[in-house]
Amino acid sequence: MEPIVERFLRYIAIDTQSDENATTQPSTTKQLDLQQLLLRELTEMGIAATLDQYGYLMASIPANAEGNIPPIGFIAHVDTSPDCSGKNIKPQVISNYTGGDIVLNKDRNIVLSEKIFPELRNYHNQTLITTDGTTLLGADDKAGVAAIMHAANYIMKHPEIKHGEIKIAFTPDEEVGRGVEHFDTGKFGAKYAYTIDGGEIGELEYENFNAASVTLLIHGTNIHPGYAKGKMINAARIAMEIDSMIPKNERPENTEGYQGFYHLTGMTAKVEEATMHYIIRDHNNDKFLQRKANLTAIAQSINNKYGPSTVEITITDSYYNMREMIEPHMHIVEKAIQAMTDCDVVPKVRPIRGGTDGASLSFKGIPCPNIFAGGHNFHGRYEYLPVPSMMKAADVIVRIITLFAQENDYKQTDQ
């Protein structure tokens, strides 16, 4: 078995699911179990690394080449999504996938189907890693973690490869939107960085959604239904009324590309009180602001109809589109494109329909595009990873490092 596969399987064996309701960081202490393992492995490679109180693991490989080479960072997150269990993952390694449906779990009739997931056709004759249909796989983002660790080990074993300072960071709580909340950019020390947190092979992203979370607290009036006429205000029905006021064509299942959306992520409702949770997303900042204004206007219209205190709305911005922070440094995107091309990977430059730690880091002063790690169908039981894609991610990392170390690039990379 390839060493990078052994790494990946070792990492996904550790449950690192984060908790969106926790107030601590890391949100779950079990994320530290993987961070401690990574710390030991980095130390065994001869790489200086530290793990801080917030669960950030940072490491640094000193430069072995002279010149004005900017320190380059590579980042992945260790947590897995709260949307699906990450406990007791039972991966299935399918060698030489020949096409057709993959039965993940015969007892539960859970099938990874080429008809539903046609991207599978791109990976015929490759080794795939899937779930057993009861958990997620964890390729988001342990494929990125494995790719970075594999590349770091390769660099350490090949001192003839000339490079500047290489910075590595593994973050907790990315899946719950707090991945860089306490990230010390000064300690990290990279001038530019790349998150290895994308999907299919070739993905390269330097645009992402502007994002906000919205909570609507609805107050009703509960009266015995036999005597409710003219008195009852049913909070559960108001919740349904609010959702009906949002355009159906602006839901996630009806959007793609640069189209933004409103997404109802959860709701609890009784007559007396209901709570609704939305996320709103848009690449365009003006449209993003308009979406926030639209929800505020909906809440106001409900208050006008049922009473001034019927709905309380709270809107919290989560992250912003990193494009404006990366465009002044487009050479880092060009380096990634060149690295992929040199590694026989076709670059697929596209906007992220989501966000990464790199989006927030870009606004903290470290321009940080996102590169593929290889996985598909994140956050659920149909997640799978083509092994050659993860291996190419590691190759691209090494190639980016060597490109930054080329003498003719010194002045360009510091512009």
Give the active site residue among 15, 79, 141, 395: 79
**Tokens representing residue 108 in the block:** 């539960």
Residue 267 sits at φ, ψ, to 5 deg, of: -155, 135
- Separation between Cα atoms, residue 73 and residue 61, nearest integer Å: 10
Q: Which amino acid is at 209?
A: F
Where does residue 63 rank: exposed (0-12), middle (13-18), buried (19+ CB within 10 A)? middle
- Separation between Cα atoms, residue 203 and residue 88, nearest integer Å: 29
Buried b (16+ CB within 10 A) or exposed e, 78-95: bbbbbebebeebebbebe
- Separation between Cα atoms, residue 415 and residue 411, nearest integer Å: 7
Identify the CA nearest to 59 among candidates 80, 81, 70, 44: 44
CA atoms in the 13 A half-sphere facing the CB of 176: 23
Where does residue 121 rank: exposed (0-12), middle (13-18), buried (19+ CB within 10 A)? exposed
Give the active site residue among 174, 175, 197, 383: 174
- DSSP per position, 286-346: HHHHHHHHHHHHHHHHHHHHH-TTSEEEEEEEEE--THHHHGGGTHHHHHHHHHHHHTT--
Q: Which amino acid is at 329?
A: H
* 79 is annotated as an active-site residue: yes
Where does residue 163 rank: exposed (0-12), middle (13-18), buried (19+ CB within 10 A)? buried
Report the DSSP beta bridge partners of residue 61: 166
Do 267 and 231 touch, CB atoms closer than 8 A?
Answer: no
Q: Helix, strand or coil for residue 141?
A: helix
The rounded radius of gyration (Å) of the Cα atoms in the chain is 23
**Tokens representing residue 315 in the block:** 């809107």
First to last CA, the chain: 43
Catalytic positions: 79, 174
